[in-house]
Structure 1
């Protein structure tokens, strides 16, 4: 990992990154939380859905995290990084990327923090973004 913190990224890191951003609320359930800024969601754990099936088991994935991205170019850039980032046809035309919770440990903390911060900035009021990010 290129981060200065070599431990694997996990669910607590997602929570810590999201909750450190201004005006963020945590909603949903313990197993399927979602994070919103002033009521606009930017990170959501999805429940099992027919559009996200584990290719190895054929079972619906119950650990998919949906993260909003600023636009289609950003989505494509993240997806070009390869696994563990992915999408499904359900998200065609929607500015978001997916990652499984089980695969968070494959991510660099700084990469994850940047993607979550960009997701927040996509949904937060412009004035709040400017105050927080400069």
Structure 2
């Protein structure tokens, strides 16, 4: 891809499926949950009372991404230039939330890094090491 573009929901599915050793399970309402080694790293949530709009309506399009640490989470949710948020339900949980309708505020490349980081946060040490050895470079230093 020569020029980056705004991220789309389809990109989340494409990028998550492109990671190695990924399986897709579906929640009770058919929502996609991407897993590596049985651990979820991207999760399309169903509307829940902990994520609501300003009128109190449940947000219908929330996607959860795992992150490496609480510090990573806070750097994303506290940055007013990003669409990421959290709710009290996720206090102490290494994840961030974003509405699918706001994915376009991210570039596809930013989304790719988010999905890769989510996968890395949940993959086994062996899988993480192998992936990083293959993909380390100037834009992605080894952890």
Number of equivalences: 131
Structure 1 residue runs of 5 or longer lacking an equivalent are none
When normalised by structure 2's length, the TM-score is 0.84
**8 Å Cα contact 2:5/2:107 also seen in 1:** no
1:68 aligns with 66
Partner of 1:96: 95
Report the equivalent of 2:84.
85
Secondary structure of the 1:61 match is coil
Query: Moved runs in structure 1, 4+ residues, more than 6 A?
Result: none
Residues 65 and 95 of structure 2 are in contact (CA less than 8 Å); yes or no, is this contact kept in structure 1?
A: yes
> What is the root-mean-square deviation of aligned Cα atoms in Å?
1.8
1:9 alignment partner in structure 2: 7
Q: Which runs of 5+ in 2 are unaligned?
A: 134-143
Matches within 5 A, 1:1-134: 4-28=2-26, 32-55=31-54, 57-82=55-80, 83-134=82-133
Query: TM-score, normalising length from structure 1?
Result: 0.89
